[in-house]
Structure formats: C-alpha cells, structure tokens
C-alpha cells in the first residue's frame, strides 16, 4: 500500500523504493498530495527523516533568530538527529537580537520529529524540529531555552542548555 501511494506522488522528489528508513538527499517530509488518498492514509504516510541540508528549524532560545535553515549536519552523511550539532543560516530574526538574518550559526538540535532510540530500548519523538544556537565551543548564545529538551544532551555534553531548560523530557 505504501509503495502505491509513493508512485502516485506529486511532490517533486522521486522517492520510490525505500520507505522504511531515512531517504538520503531528499526533502525531509514525504507527504503525498494526490486526491485518491483516504483520510487515514495521510496520517500514516508521513515519514520522519533526519535534519539535513534545507531543513528549516525553529529556534527556541532568545538569541534573536526565529528560524534557521540547516546548511550542514556535522558528523553524519545522512543528517542530524536529536542532540547533534548543525550549521545553519538564519532565515528569520527578531529586529534587535544577538543574531541577524543571513548569519551562519552553529546550533544543537533539541527537538526532532524523527524518533531517536535510547539506550534502554525505548524511542522518543517530539512534535517539531527545534534548535538552540550555539557558538563553536558549544555554549549557547542565548540565555533562555523554551519548551522541553531531551536528556540526550547530557551525554553530548551540552550541560548549559540542560541547565537553562524549562523541562527535560
């Protein structure tokens, strides 16, 4: 059933074939928009993949930026997962902030729609893709962090972000 809908896909990317795992080099959301989809299929088809070049992420600190587009996921060819560092370009910013539109910044992915496996065997996933801007040393630029953050950050040594967080999931 899944392959049938992929073949009717009207989205620009040609993602025929592998549906189960990450789709390399393609947009992060494989959402079909044909009219023959039934109500229930629309919800099942959404495949969550890595944060990769072109992914727009929400910025959840008070550094001044609002949205950031990923231009490079460090440390992985496939893309960034929850807790990884990315390089991004600021696409939207607040008028008076530490960061301006067009800046190239480092960020830590604190919420990812793609599930990440934990060492006890469980999987976690969040509602959206969010990032906290960081400098090259890994310290956050802003002074506050909004929303829940995962405790994967502790292993990745982003202790300062955890300290600023409202809620640790």
Partner 1 sequence: MRLEKCWFCSSTIYPGHGIQFVRNDAKIFRFCRSKCHKNFKMKRNPRKVKWTKAYRRLHGKDMTQDSTFEFERKRNRPQRYDRINTEKVLQAIPKISKVKATRQKDHITKRLSVGRVNRRTEDRRELEQSISLVKAPSVLKEDATLTLPKQKVTVSYAQTENTPMEE
Q: What residues line the site for partner 1 (CB under 8 A)? A: 40, 43-44, 111, 115, 120-128, 147-148, 150, 166-167, 169
Gap between the Cα atoms of 40 and 57, Å rounded: 27
- Minimum CB distance to partner 1, residue 136 (Å): 29
Tell the burial category of 79 from Cβ atoms under 10 Å away from its Cβ (0-12, 13-18, 19+).
Answer: buried
DSSP string, 78-106: S-B-TT-EEEEEEEEE-SSSSS-TT-EEE
Instruction: Select 24 or 169, whichever has its Cβ closest to partner 1.
Output: 169
- Minimum CB distance to partner 1, residue 48 (Å): 11
- Minimum CB distance to partner 1, residue 98 (Å): 24
- Minimum CB distance to partner 1, residue 43 (Å): 5
Instruction: Select 81 or 106, whichever has its Cβ closest to partner 1.
Output: 81
Instruction: Select 66 or 98, whichever has its Cβ closest to partner 1.
Output: 66
Tell the burial category of 25 from Cβ atoms under 10 Å away from its Cβ (0-12, 13-18, 19+).
Answer: exposed
Instruction: Select 111 or 158, whichever has its Cβ closest to partner 1.
Output: 111
Instruction: Select 7 or 44, whichever has its Cβ closest to partner 1.
Output: 44
Tell the burial category of 89 from Cβ atoms under 10 Å away from its Cβ (0-12, 13-18, 19+).
Answer: middle
The candidate with the shortest Cα–Cα distance to 79, out of 129, 36, 22, is 22
- Minimum CB distance to partner 1, residue 146 (Å): 9
Tokens of 103: 């800046």
């Amino acid at each position: 059933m899944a392959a049938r809908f992929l073949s009717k896909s009207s989205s620009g990317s040609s993602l025929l074939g592998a549906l189960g795992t990450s789709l390399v080099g393609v947009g992060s959301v494989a959402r079909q928009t044909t009219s023959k989809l039934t109500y229930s299929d629309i919800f099942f088809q959404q495949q969550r993949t890595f944060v990769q070049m072109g992914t727009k992420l929400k910025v959840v600190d008070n550094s001044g930026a609002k949205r950031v587009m990923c231009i490079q996921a460090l440390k992985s060819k496939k893309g960034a997962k929850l807790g990884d560092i990315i390089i991004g370009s600021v696409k939207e910013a607040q008028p008076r902030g530490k960061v301006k539109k067009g800046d190239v910044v480092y960020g830590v992915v604190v919420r990812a729609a793609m599930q990440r496996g934990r060492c006890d065997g469980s999987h976690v996933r969040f509602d959206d893709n969010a990032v906290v801007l960081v400098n090259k040393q890994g310290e956050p630029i802003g002074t506050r962090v909004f929303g829940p953050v995962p405790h994967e950050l502790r292993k990745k040594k982003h202790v300062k972000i955890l300290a600023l967080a409202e809620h640790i999931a």
